[in-house]
Amino acid sequence: MKPLHRMIVLSSTYRMVSSGGHAIDRRAGGINPPIRTTRAASPAVEAASPAVEIGGLTPPARRNQHVDPDNRYLWRMNSRRMEAEIVRDSVLATSGALDISPGGPETPESEGQTVFRRSLYFRLTPNEKMKLLELFDAADPNQCYRRRESVVPQQSLALFNSGLAIDRARALAATLSAEAAASGEPGGEAGFVVTAFESVLSRAPTNEERIACERFLTEHTELLQHPTRTPFAGTGGAKRPPAPDPRQRARENLLLVLYNHNDFVTIR
């Protein structure tokens, strides 16, 4: 199987970007020249070139979008949403908390918010499912069918409101601030934004993103100093209190936003 896998993942078809049908290498900071697929595609479907872009799509990509909206001829990569276990594990891994020790007895699903083992090791039976995983279309323990990739508001609530997400964002903010202070190059809010993007989304922010986030940190710090505010009802699942310093709390809240970013759960 390995040579086959190698052939698939090294093919130009597999390496195309999900946006417009050309190969991309973000590390190089730009878009590579177009790569025509070796697979015999429909003559109507062209390999896209990044020449002139309108509304985010190159003209060939726009034509392809019209001819083959479902991407049957693989003129671009399909975007996928992370599977449930990967969503949870990634929140933990990016905040440095994932326990990767292998094996051992299964962990009760009720401890999914507080025990940081890989999601794989939690109990999953017809009656005992971790809600967080279930919301992101975890596998049915009884049956062997294809998983679905739903997008529902409850997933948004889970990533914004779960104790896991809130606690990990707060913890990661503390770590990043401490690291910046220890390095002797605090870097200010701009430096924090870059580190935050790299930690959570594994990429640097674009200029526009960085500006938006810096403005958020400033305005949010002011907001948090405002005396009249309305707390949400209930106790929620978070165990870790927010930072008392408004500036640090704004950083925590920025990280939680990044955990909710579309790019966090999407594989391009």
Partner 1 sequence: MQHPFPCGRINRRAFLADSGMGFTGLALGAMLHQDGIARADEPTAVPPLTKGGPGGVVGQPHDAPRAKSVIWFFMLGGTSHLESFDPKPALDQYAGKTIDESPYKGAVVDSPFYRKNVRDFAGVPRDLMPTLYPTQVAFRKRGMSGIEVSDWWPHVGGCIDDIAVIRSMWTTDNDHAAQLQFHTGRHIFDGFYPSIGSWVHYGLGSAGNNLPQFVVMGQPPGDCCGGVGTHDGSYLGPEHSGVELALDPAAPLPFGTPGNTVTVEERRSQLDLLERLNQLAGVEYPADAALRARVKAYELAFRMQMSVPEVVRLEDETAETHNLYGLNDPAAGTVARQSLVARRLVERGVRFVQIYHGGGGGGSWDAHSNLKDNHQKMCAQVDRPIAGLLKDLQRRGLLDETLVVWATEFGRTPGSERSNGRDHHPYGFSVWMAGGGLKGGLVHGATDDLGFHAVEHRHYVTDVHATLLHQLGLDPRRLAVPGQKRLDIDYGEPIHEIIG
What residues from 61 to 100 belong to the interface with partner 1 (CB under 8 A)? 65-66, 69-70, 79, 81
Q: What is the smallest separation between the CB atom of 28 and partner 1, expressed in angstroms?
A: 12
Using CA atoms, how far residue 166 sits from 95, 200, 220, 253, in Å, is: 11, 14, 17, 8
With beta carbons less than 8 A apart as the criterion, state whether 265 and 202 touch: no
Q: Is 59 in the site for partner 1 (CB under 8 A)?
A: no
Task: Please list every residue from 197 through 236 that binds partner 1, using CB under 8 A.
Answer: 206-209, 211-213, 216, 219-220, 223-224, 226, 229-236
Nearer to partner 1, 105 or 241 (CB): 241
Using CA atoms, how far residue 164 sits from 7, 109, 186, 199, in Å, is: 39, 13, 27, 17
Nearer to partner 1, 98 or 254 (CB): 254
Segment contacting partner 1 (CB under 8 A): 93-101, 117-125, 158-166, 174-182?
A: 158-166
Task: Please list every residue from 118 through 137 that binds partner 1, using CB under 8 A.
Answer: 126, 131-132, 135
Q: What is the smallest separation between the CB atom of 252 and partner 1, expressed in angstroms?
A: 10
Segment contacting partner 1 (CB under 8 A): 2-10, 35-43, 96-104, 153-161?
A: 153-161
Q: Is 156 in the site for partner 1 (CB under 8 A)?
A: yes
> CA-based Rg of the chain, rounded to a whole angstrom?
21
Residues 179, 249, 160, 207: is their CA dihedral positive or negative? negative
Nearer to partner 1, 95 or 155 (CB): 155
Q: Is 102 in the site for partner 1 (CB under 8 A)?
A: no
Residue 184 to residue 187: CA distance in whole angstroms: 9
Task: Please list every residue from 13 through 42 that binds partner 1, using CB under 8 A.
Answer: 17-20, 29
Among 145, 184, 185, 227, indicate the residue that binds partner 1 (CB under 8 A): 145
In sequence order, which residues have a C-beta less than 8 Å from that of residue 92 and are 6 or more positions away? 98, 99, 116, 164, 168
Using CA atoms, how far residue 22 sits from 13, 46, 52, in Å, is: 9, 11, 13
Using CA atoms, how far residue 57 sits from 16, 50, 66, 76, 219, in Å, is: 14, 8, 12, 12, 33
Q: Is 166 in the site for partner 1 (CB under 8 A)?
A: yes
Q: How many CA atoms lie within 13 A of 35 on its CB side?
A: 20
Among 4, 33, 142, 244, indicate the residue that binds partner 1 (CB under 8 A): 142
